[in-house]
Chain A
Amino acid sequence: MSDSPPVAEHVEHTEHDRPELRHHFADEVQQRNAASLGMWWFLGTEIMFFGGMFCAYLIYRIKYFPEFAVASRSLDLKVGALNTAVLICSSLTVAQAVRAAQMGKRMLQVKLLLATLFFGLVFLGVKAYEWDMKYQEHHIPTFDFNAKNLMQTPQDRHLLGLDKISDPVELRRKEAEIQQRSQIFFSLYFALTGMHAIHMIVGVAIFSVITWMAWKGRFTPEYHTPLEIAGLYWHFVDIVWIYLFPLLYLIDRRPGA
Chain B
Amino acid sequence: MLALVGYYEPWWIQIIKGIVIFAVALQLVPVVLIAERKLLGRMQGRYGPNRVGPYGALQPLADILKLLTKEQSRPATSVGFLFAVAPLISILTAVAAFAIIPFGDTQDIFGTKVGLYGIDVSIGPLYLFAFGAVAFYGIMLGGWSSGSKYSFLGAMRGAAQLISYEVSQGLALVGVIITAQTLSLTGIVHAQGGMWYIIPQFFGFLVFLVASFAETNRAPFDLIEADAELVGGYNTEFGGGRFASYYFAEYLNVLVVSGIVTTIFLGGWLLPFGIHPPGWVDPIVVLFKMSLITFLFIWVRATLPRLRYDQLMSFGWKVLLPLATLNTLVTAILVVATH
Question: Is this pair of chains taken from one and the same complex?
Answer: no
Which residues of chain A have a CB within 8 Å of any CB of chain B?
A: none
Which residues of chain B have a CB within 8 Å of any CB of chain A?
A: none
